[in-house]
Amino acid sequence: MGNDVLVLAERVGKQLQDSTYELLAKARELAQAWGGNADVALFGPADLADQLTAADTVVSIDHPALSDYMPEAYEKALLHVLRERSPRLLLLSNATAGLDQGAALSVLWDAPLAAYAVGLSLDDGVPVATCQVLGGKVLAEVALEGERAICTVIGGSFSSATGQAAGSPEVVHIPPPPELDTARMSVQQVFEPEAGDVDITTADLLVSVGRGIGSKDDLELVQELADALGAPLSSSRPITDSGWLPKTRQVGKSGLKVKPKAYLAFGISGAPEHLEGMRGADLIIACNTDPGAPIFDVAHYGATVDLFDLVPALTGRLRR
């Protein structure tokens, strides 16, 4: 039985995502207990290998099909690496790549998969994942017995500190397997978030709206408050899905993670995907007419008044 842990590096262009370091930190912890290596699979140009100093090995495959994230190419490459390197555990982030790769490899590599992990530890050498399911209402402690396993991890679950430790990993270049030369899909166009728009991840104060806002025209009311506070307007998913705000304003699991000094939430119920994006804020004040809304479980202060009364009241006071 192998005792290495393999992490799939998540890259966006020339950058490695935070999740890679979080997973690498956890990989080192587990690998050390097993007496194995904490390796990172890096696809595409190998230049980013020097950012993975905390890894024991960087397993690199470079091929034109891997220059962007392309599900089929990544799957083939990763399967190849798994077969070559036979790690005990594969760690993936619960982002798009993880949602593409994890379950497929569970079948192809014949390994059990524990999804939505927020915790991962060893019990007598056996990896035990704490997984968050049913909208955050249930936690499951899942043991991954057997020779190999896969775990997809929710972002922000682990500290990335040791994942960025100094070191000099061995870089192993694996020749691209021939199946990478054929593909049944191709990337046509990549859409970056609108340039020139505000970066909500750097704001000290955010004014955020959710479904309680009702209609696009009502956004103006809240925009006035945001202007009066000198803060950007952000939102939960339904607002950007409807196109009322650009995607760059979306806070949450599939949007952006923010940690402002203060986060004002108007008409946001607090679905787990949204909470994932903002629960780290220093001060959270939530306004929702439903006293049972889950947002109140993470907010520091709350009020059940109607946002259409509170927002103008706030704007009025600020303008004096």
Long-range pairs for 184-193 at CB < 8 Å and ≥24 separation?
Answer: 184/72, 185/70, 185/71, 185/72, 186/70, 187/68, 187/69, 187/70, 190/68, 193/246, 193/247, 193/248
We find the least distance from the C-beta atom of residue 194 to another protein, in angstroms, to be 8
Please, are residues 296 and 270 in contact by the beta-carbon 8 Å criterion? yes
We find the least distance from the C-beta atom of residue 198 to another protein, in angstroms, to be 12
Nearer to another protein by C-beta: 38 or 153? 153
Q: Which of 45, 185, 202, 319 binds another protein (CB under 8 A)?
A: 185
We find the least distance from the C-beta atom of residue 67 to another protein, in angstroms, to be 12
Where do we find the tokens 């397993």?
Answer: 59
Report the C-alpha gap between 99 and 87 in whole angstroms. Answer: 20
We find the least distance from the C-beta atom of residue 310 to another protein, in angstroms, to be 5
Q: Which of 84, 170, 181, 194 binds another protein (CB under 8 A)?
A: 194
Q: Which of 223, 254, 259, 280 binds another protein (CB under 8 A)?
A: 254
Site mask, another protein, residues 59-98, x = CB under 8 A?
---------xxxxx----------------------xx--
Nearer to another protein by C-beta: 1 or 313? 313
Q: 143 to 172, contacts with another protein by CB under 8 A?
A: 143-146, 149-150, 152, 155
Q: Which of 1, 84, 297, 319 binds another protein (CB under 8 A)?
A: 297
Q: 93 to 112, contacts with another protein by CB under 8 A?
A: 95-96, 99-104, 106-108, 111-112
- Residue in 135, 96, 142, 99 with CA at minimum distance from that of residue 117: 142
- Residue in 112, 148, 108, 110 with CA at minimum distance from that of residue 131: 112
Q: Which of 87, 169, 232, 255 binds another protein (CB under 8 A)?
A: 255
Phi, psi of 91 (to 5 degrees): -110, 130
Q: Which of 138, 166, 178, 196 binds another protein (CB under 8 A)?
A: 138
**What's the Rg (C-alpha) of the chain?**
22
Report the C-alpha gap between 90 and 112 in whole angstroms. Answer: 10
